[in-house]
Structure 1
Amino acid sequence: MTDKIDEKTRTELEAAAFRRLVAHLRERTDVQNIDLMNLGGFCRNCLSNWYREAAEERGLSMTKDESREVVYGMPYEEWKAKHQSEATPEQQEQFKTSHRH
C-alpha cells in the first residue's frame, strides 16, 4: 500500500500524524516529559528540537523557544509553571539507567 502513495500525499499524511501527536501531547498535560523519556525515549522537548532541526535543514531560522511553542501551544516557561512537576527520585533514577548516552 505505501508504495502506491505519492510523495506529496505521504508528506501530508505524516504532517497530519504530527499535528495529531502534538494535539494529543497538549491534551495530556498529566504526562510528564520525564515519563515520556523513560518510557519512549523522547519527550516534548525532543519533538520541538526535531521540528527546529527540520526547519533549519530547509534554511529557516527558528529558535528553541519558537519550536517549543509549536509543540507546547504556549511559551515553554508558561507550560512548565502550569503543568510540570518535580521529577521524583524514582523517575530520576529510571532516567539515569534508561538514558546512559
Structure 2
Amino acid sequence: MAIDDKTRTELEAAAFRRLVDHLKTRTDVQNIDLMNLAGFCRNCLSNWLKDAADAQGVSLSKDESREAVYGMPYEAWKAKHQGTASPEQLEAMKKVHPHSR
C-alpha cells in the first residue's frame, strides 16, 4: 500500500484516537491486565503522547497527557475505576516485566 506521509499520519492519529476512546469505555480492563497481556497500558500511552509532544516542542505536562488518555484526571480515574491488583496479577507482572516495580 503506497500512501503519502500526510495520509499515513492522519490514519495513525485516527487509530490512536480510536484506541484511546476504546480504553476510556473499557474501565473494567485494569492497567495491570493490559501490561500483562500486551506489554503496555494507559500510562504507557500517555507517556508516549508526552514524548511526542516533547519531541515537537509542544508544552504538555504529564498530568495533561494522562487526562487526554484517561478522559479525566488520573487520580480521579484511579479512585473511580482502579481496583487492587490480585496476587495472581502481581505474580504475572513479575514474570512478564521482571524489572517493573
TM-score (norm 2): 0.96
Unaligned runs of 5+ in 2: none
Offset of residue 15 of structure 1: 0.3
Residue 47 of structure 2: aligned partner: 49
TM-score (norm 1): 0.96
Distance 1:23 1:62 in 2: 20
Task: Tell me the secondary structure at the aligned position of residue 48 of structure 1.
Answer: helix
Select which of 67, 70, 76 maps to 1:69.
Answer: 67
Corresponding residue pairs, total: 99
Residue 19 of structure 1: aligned partner: 17
Offset of residue 61 of structure 1: 2.1
Moved over 6 A (4+): none
- Counterpart AA for 1:94: A
Offset of residue 69 of structure 1: 0.3
How many percent identity over aligned positions?
74
Offset of residue 30 of structure 1: 0.2
Distance 1:32 1:64 in 2: 20
**More deviation in 13-22 or 58-67?**
58-67
The RMSD of aligned alpha carbons is: 0.6
Distance 1:11 1:17 in 2: 10
1:91 correspondence with 2:89? yes
Distance 1:64 1:91 in 2: 26
